[in-house]
DNA sequence: GGATAGCGGACAGTGTCACTATCTACTATG
DNA sequence: CATAGTAGATAGTGACACTGTCCGCTATCC
């Protein structure tokens, strides 16, 4: 198949496909001449995947490249697919702002460690989610929301349930490639799915508790 | 207080503060002369909030403005704080790509409606989370992950638990202003907190189930 | 009272990011 | 052999979130 068909089948404009190739999200097609190449089903799949990560998952192109490289490489064992995917999928974050004499950050980091230990979780010290979580907690604390501890407990409990179901579902996959793919897809797309469901459930619960009606306020 | 102190106390550079004022995230200070103004505690609080929404919550500046306007206005009843906050906090999304003969979108939208109905949730038809969720599900379907139904059920269940705890916590706040603030903060910052916890729990669960160790793979 | 630092406001500039457009030389196909 | 399509290179675009600079004025310290 040539590039026009690749574009038609995926809905991605040709210039964008070329851009993705330049950026390493897609490999070159099989060359048949100085200005001709052929693309196969793997290109279709990989392009769809790239599009999903960038558009729905909101990943930066560089992170999508990492994630795709992970999926379509052969050097991963099932023991570190997940870790590597998490590294690839977490866009780099700069150190959060250090105001004057601000120790909220350190306290939050300690709190994260404590939470992980208390739950009996085995988490690598380099997992970027530690940092993200600590940053968010530090911010919460700076905003005076220091009564977040019970909410955090609920969140952690909930996250455990999610992770349990997810890891079980993933481990049912046959081959390693399919597992890696599922890990990336669900890590990246699970976030918006969960966020949406949370909002929907919030509105429903609020309507019930506060007696609001289902009228549109727009 | 003058702008230098405002900057010092919040860690936000002066040019950025000026920019936020231009963009309506912060109101003008109380003028004391043609080129002098005074800022109060409310400015500090509002600036910290703005910063948190943009930096940690990842909101576009325009959405942060909406959310702040909601908090610091008086015309909201407790019945629609949540709905309005959700509208304000959901960055506008364009219609997802329509490839050739693609009905995954419609099917996904129907699936969302069905899920909401089955759960007995009362959700306004205009809630933007419907669209986000439908888009994500459609993408999943296009990627061939059509076995997501049981996972979705777990997610929905989980979201309900979260929402229950959250709405209860919010409704314990005294005044409406504090409620509005909490809704915005927790809606925006809850997402990264939950996402991080999910990743941490995933790694822990995976280590347990697949027998991975806690070595660093970096 | 004069030097210095800081201020508010306007406006232009910067860096990043994800594309998008154009051009050239070449190829496939009716 | 005319037309449409192609690969690859390079430059341009538009959105976004700042950031820098300048002006005329003010506050404050010696």
pLDDT of residue A95: 59
**More confidently predicted of B194 and A210:** B194
Interface test with B, best of A146, A147, A200, A209 (most B CBs within 10 A): A200
End-to-end Cα separation, chain A, in angstroms? 47
B211: chain A residues, CB-CB within 8 Å: 79
b/e burial code for range A173-192 (CB count within 10 A of at least 16 → b)? eeeeeebbbbbbbbbbbbbb
pLDDT of residue A29: 95
Q: How far is CA B170 from the centre of its chain?
A: 15
Which of B78, B56, B81, B77 lies closest to B67, judged by CA? B81
Nearest CA in chain B to A214: B124
The contacts of residue B174 (CB under 8 Å, 6+ apart) are: none
Residues A40 and A135 in one domain: no
Which three-class secondary structure string do you get for A5-44? HHHHHHCCCHHHHHHHHHCCCCCCCEEEECCEEECCHHHH
**In this model, does residue A191 exceed pLDDT 70?**
yes
For tokens 């068909």, the residue is A5
pLDDT of residue A216: 45
Nearest CA in chain B to A159: B198
Which nucleotides in chain C lie closer than 7 A to a protein CB?
A: 6-11, 17-22, 25-28
Residues A172 and A95 in one domain: yes
Residues B27 and B95 in one domain: no
Residues B192 and B142 in one domain: yes
Residues A9 and A47 in one domain: yes
In this prediction, residues A200-212 reach a mean pLDDT of 85
Assigned domain for B68 exists? no
Beta carbons of B155 and A197 less than 8 Å apart: yes
Q: How far apart, in whole angstroms, are the C-alpha atoms of residue B161 and residue B164?
A: 5
pLDDT of residue B211: 65
Assigned domain for A45 exists? yes
Assigned domain for A205 exists? yes
Assigned domain for B148 exists? yes
Residues B29 and B98 in one domain: no
Residues A39 and A117 in one domain: no
Beta carbons of B99 and A10 less than 8 Å apart: yes
Assigned domain for B70 exists? no
Q: How many residues appear in chain B?
A: 218
**In this model, does residue B104 exceed pLDDT 90?**
no
Q: For chain A, what percent of residues have pLDDT higher than 90?
A: 74
In this prediction, residues B164-180 reach a mean pLDDT of 90
Q: What tens digit of pLDDT does each residue of B16-70 get?
A: 999 999 999 999 999 999 999 999 999 999 999 999 999 999 999 999 999 999 9
Say if A101 is an interface residue toward chain B (CB within 8 Å): no
Q: Residues 36-55, chain B: which have Cβ within 8 Å of A?
A: 48-49, 51-52, 55
Q: How many residues appear in chain A?
A: 218
Helix segments in A76-175, DSSP class H: 81-89, 104-119, 128-142, 149-171
pLDDT of residue B93: 74
Nearest CA in chain B to A167: B206
pLDDT of residue B64: 97
Are B132 and B106 contacting, i.e. CB atoms less than 8 angstroms apart?
A: no
Are A160 and A119 contacting, i.e. CB atoms less than 8 angstroms apart?
A: yes
pLDDT of residue A218: 42
Beta carbons of B162 and A164 less than 8 Å apart: no
Structure token pair of residue B33: 């002369």
Q: How far apart, in whole angstroms, are the C-alpha atoms of residue B189 and residue B51?
A: 12
Q: How far apart, in whole angstroms, are the C-alpha atoms of residue B218 and residue B216?
A: 6
CA-derived radius of gyration, chain B:
21
Q: How far apart, in whole angstroms, are the C-alpha atoms of residue A179 and residue B206?
A: 12
For tokens 């309507």, the residue is A207
Assigned domain for A216 exists? no
**More confidently predicted of B47 and B78:** B47
Residues B42 and B110 in one domain: no
In this prediction, residues A140-158 reach a mean pLDDT of 92
b/e burial code for range B155-190 (CB count within 10 A of at least 16 → b)? bbbbbbebbbbbbebbeeeeeeeebbbbbbbbbbbb
pLDDT of residue A130: 95
pLDDT of residue A64: 97
Q: How far apart, in whole angstroms, are the C-alpha atoms of residue B58 and residue A139?
A: 13
Q: How far is CA B29 from the centre of its chain?
A: 28
pLDDT of residue B186: 96
- Strand intervals (E) in chain B: 30-33, 36-38
In this prediction, residues A58-68 reach a mean pLDDT of 97
In this prediction, residues A134-162 reach a mean pLDDT of 94
Residues B47 and B81 in one domain: no
Residues B33 and B94 in one domain: no
Distance B35 CA to D24 C1' (A): 9
Assigned domain for A217 exists? no
Ranking A78-82, A93-97, B45-49, B111-115 by mean pLDDT, the lowest is A93-97
Mean of all residue pLDDT scores within chain B: 90
Residue B145 is part of which domain span? 77-210
User: Domain tally for chain A?
Assistant: 2
**In this model, does residue B217 exceed pLDDT 60?**
no
Beta carbons of A143 and B218 less than 8 Å apart: no
B96: chain A residues, CB-CB within 8 Å: 55-56
Structure token pair of residue A26: 């897609």
Say if B178 is an interface residue toward chain A (CB within 8 Å): no
Ranking A55-64, A169-178, B161-170 by mean pLDDT, the lowest is A169-178
Q: How far apart, in whole angstroms, are the C-alpha atoms of residue A140 and residue A122?
A: 25
Residues B102 and B43 in one domain: no
In this prediction, residues B117-145 reach a mean pLDDT of 95
Are B52 and B189 contacting, i.e. CB atoms less than 8 angstroms apart?
A: yes
Can you give the CATH number for the domain in which A12 is found?
A: 1.10.1660.10
CA-derived radius of gyration, chain A:
21
Residues A21 and A96 in one domain: no
A194: chain B residues, CB-CB within 8 Å: 155, 158-159, 194-195, 198
Q: How far apart, in whole angstroms, are the C-alpha atoms of residue B37 and residue A6?
A: 59
pLDDT of residue A103: 77
In this prediction, residues B184-203 reach a mean pLDDT of 96
From B122, B194, B202, residue closest to A207, measured CB to CB: B122
Q: Phi then psi for B162, rounded to 5 degrees?
A: -55, -55
Assigned domain for B29 exists? yes
pLDDT band at A96 (very low <50, low <70, confident <90, very high): low
Structure token pair of residue B142: 């296009």
């Amino acid at each position: 198949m040539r590039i026009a068909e690749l574009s038609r089948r995926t809905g991605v404009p040709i210039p964008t496909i070329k851009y993705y190739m330049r950026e390493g999200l897609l490999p070159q097609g099989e060359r048949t001449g100085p200005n001709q190449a052929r693309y196969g089903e793997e290109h279709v799949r990989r392009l769809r995947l790239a599009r999903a990560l960038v558009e729905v998952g909101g990943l930066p192109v560089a992170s999508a490249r990492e994630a795709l490289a992970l999926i379509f490489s052969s050097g991963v064992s099932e023991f570190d697919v997940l870790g590597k995917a998490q590294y690839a999928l977490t866009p780099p974050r700069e150190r959060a702002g250090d105001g004057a004499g601000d120790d909220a950050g350190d306290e939050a980091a300690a709190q994260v460690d404590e939470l992980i230990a208390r739950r009996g979780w085995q988490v690598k010290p380099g997992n970027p989610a530690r940092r993200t979580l600590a940053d968010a907690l530090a911010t919460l604390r700076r905003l005076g929301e220091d009564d977040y501890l019970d909410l955090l407990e609920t969140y952690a409990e909930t996250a455990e349930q999610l992770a349990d179901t997810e890891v079980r579902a993933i481990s049912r996959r046959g081959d390693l490639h399919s597992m890696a793919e599922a890990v990336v897809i669900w890590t990246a797309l699970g976030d918006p799915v969960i966020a949406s469901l949370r909002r929907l459930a919030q509105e429903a619960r609020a309507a019930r508790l506060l007696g609001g009606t289902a009228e549109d306020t727009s």
